Amino acid sequence: MKTILQTESSECGLACLAMVASHFGSHIDLADLRRRFSISLKGASLAQLMRHAGSMHLAARPLRLALEELGALKCPCILHWDLNHFVVLKKIKRSLRGIITVVILDPAVGERILTMTEVSDHFTGIALELLPTAQFEQQDATRKMSIKQLTGPVVGLRRALLQVFALALALEVFALVSPLFNQYVIDEVIVSGDHQLLQILVVGFALLLITQTLIGVARSMVLMRWSIDVGLQWSARVFSHLISLPAVFFENVIWVTCCRVSEVSPQSSKP
């Protein structure tokens, strides 16, 4: 069972539903759930999660229980956390020494392993068990993003690639021709002592070396110009997309980032 991280502060409930549905074999993207179910800026209530679960053909049973009764829940299930958050209870483990640890899938920070004492500081006593109904279907509705969708259209890409490959091919040809100079000098000039042929070979090899150097410089210039053009196009596309996003998106991203930093910083400060 994999962890699905939320990208907005209000979609922790949807992320939990996606994780539970994935456990039962229905792999759904969080973006698809975001389009199907509208969530307010304050997030989803327990009643809304039950309605959304019903739309996904998951039977929901809300429970109020004490901390000691967590082991009786059917995992995975959703727990109400910190009065304003939802997490998934993955499993409860008991070691040989009798120590009980709780594995939590937190859509804000990822998988966490907590003790019962730590769980008591966050768990509000509300849980939501989910089970697939007869209409529930196992499916893989995740969308795979291709490289073309990720990069978008790049103007001049084909022409630049053709130029780079042509110049690289020319350099390889010159690299293969260069050893012929040594062969002619050893086989013809040294054996026959033809100084005129040696001069012709030296001039020809010098021209060959100059041409090879110019082609190398031209290839470097094409690569540099192409990298600048591609970087400019991608930067402009990302900037235009960012300025079109609402301010709420950045507020939610900052909230999720702060939650993850707050969970990591106490652990990193330990010696």
Q: How far is CA 83 from CA 1, 91, 119, in A?
A: 25, 21, 13
Which residue, among 104, 37, 36, has the nearest Cα to 73 in the 3D structure? Answer: 104
Structure tokens of 24?
A: 């039962």
Give catalytic status of residue 16 as yes or no: no
- Say how many Å lie between the first and final Cα of the chain, rounded: 32
Structure tokens of 5?
A: 């991280």
Q: For the packed helices 46-55 and 12-23, what is the interaxial angle rounded to 10 degrees?
A: 40
Q: Which entry of 12, 16, 77, 259 is annotated as an active-site residue? A: 12
Place of tokens 């009980």: 100
Catalytic residues: 12
